Structure 1
């Protein structure tokens, strides 16, 4: 037994079948020479002794696959912050802020909620908060009064842990309202929502639909920063949500864009996933509401940026319908 045969047996690739007219190469000269004396393929026998040869049924010939004509390429209008090469657009020199169009992927967006331990949120329930503010107190407050109430709020422990409440920013008469989750460390320091990397990405998203930060209003469900930037508890959301609802009542925006699951769940009173809420124009007390991903999530999951652009297009179409 030669070395080649031993190797083939070790790999369970023996007996060897040879072609009628193999291509001869210098390295395989012995094999090519034996192939010249081989019988036709129809009657081919294994190289090893006939006593160990097993009969093999001929393999059915596979029909060749017809050439497929190339599919006509579909072009689409993309925002200026969409990047195919990974480089940032002129709107931002930060490549992380560029939206990259890629194939859709399975939505793995996890829940934004961390439920409080038993009894932790009992004193911060929405029912108790509303009882404390019965008689339409918030319903009659104007913008300056509402800001004062938020500044002095002690309905949950977040106020004692943060530097200052972040009421919101932008045009108080804006037709666009963008709602996020809660302030982060930079927002808490500067008293402005959506700053830092997520704020720059949001600014680029706004520019893509022809808007600037000064032309919209930005707010959060939670006005005070949760310690360590954790997701807010249910009781904290319940305590702060009436302030946001009063802001909406005073703003009367034409379209609301909920950024992230916390904002969508709070305003729509649902625990549905972002995937199931996207692509639909919801109704918040007569105001169209579109759900999309939070900019901070998009920075962690850049594959979802193309879907966020689709959501913005839906919001623009909705606004056009309101103004048209």
Structure 2
């Protein structure tokens, strides 16, 4: 039987596939338009996301919203998910075993969406989706094609909060995303 959004969401909410299930407050399944043609993927929820059950709602989320607005997008036009759906303790990087336990949910979300553009937010997502040897410092903003999907990676918004010197190159990456959106969807976007 094919997945439905609600069926997949319920399965994810009940997941006990790794130790993160024991420490979470909420599963952070995803947010946005379930018919979006643009998918943004981060590494995992932080404290605010764990509390609210919604991805990118803290300071990094506010910055992400601003970044999307710069290029004419918002959460009604994209779908936002993470590699892992539960918060790693202390906001540490998700372990490989945690990523492996959760990646199937992201794959199934991607299959339901069938996006034309996938944007990895940070190195963890880029390594899991684009290439396990991905180097965010040297490969951010580059475009890759996998299964007919245009993929790129930009610095994670949390990294931009910590290091404002990365913002000019991220602005260039955003303009590249805007150009790709226009190329695929026309001047009015998706």
- The answer for unaligned runs of 5 or more in structure 2 is none
1:176 maps to 2:38: yes
Q: What residue number does 2:27 align with?
A: 165
Q: What residue number does 2:175 align with?
A: 313
1:1-324 equivalences in 2 (<5 Å): 140-324=2-186
The structural deviation recorded for 1:269 is 3.5
The structural deviation recorded for 1:211 is 1.4
The structural deviation recorded for 1:149 is 1.2
> Could you state the TM-score of these two structures normalised by the residue count of structure 1?
0.56
- The answer for unaligned runs of 5 or more in structure 1 is 1-136
The structural deviation recorded for 1:195 is 1.0
Query: SS at 1:212's partner residue?
Result: coil
Name the CA distance, whole Å, in 1 between partners of 2:38 and 2:141.
18
Query: SS at 1:256's partner residue?
Result: strand
Structure 1 segments, 4+ long, off by >6 Å, are: none
Structure with the larger helix share: 2
The structural deviation recorded for 1:175 is 1.8
The structural deviation recorded for 1:214 is 2.1
The structural deviation recorded for 1:292 is 0.4
Q: Is the 8 A contact 1:290 1:314 kept in 2?
A: no
Q: Is the 8 A contact 1:254 1:319 kept in 2?
A: no
Name the CA distance, whole Å, in 2 between partners of 1:146 and 1:155.
14
Q: Is the 8 A contact 2:116 2:148 kept in 1?
A: no
Query: SS at 1:192's partner residue?
Result: coil
Query: SS at 1:214's partner residue?
Result: coil
Point out the structure with max Rg over C-alpha: 1
Query: SS at 1:289's partner residue?
Result: strand
Structure with larger RCO (C-alpha < 8 A, sep 6+) = 2
The structural deviation recorded for 1:276 is 3.0
> Could you state the TM-score of these two structures normalised by the residue count of structure 2?
0.93
Name the CA distance, whole Å, in 2 between partners of 1:192 and 1:308.
24
The structural deviation recorded for 1:275 is 2.4
Structure with the larger strand share: 2
* Length, aligned pairs only: 186
After superposition, the CA RMSD in angstroms is 1.3
Query: SS at 2:56's partner residue?
Result: coil
Name the CA distance, whole Å, in 2 between partners of 1:253 and 1:238.
22
Query: SS at 1:219's partner residue?
Result: strand
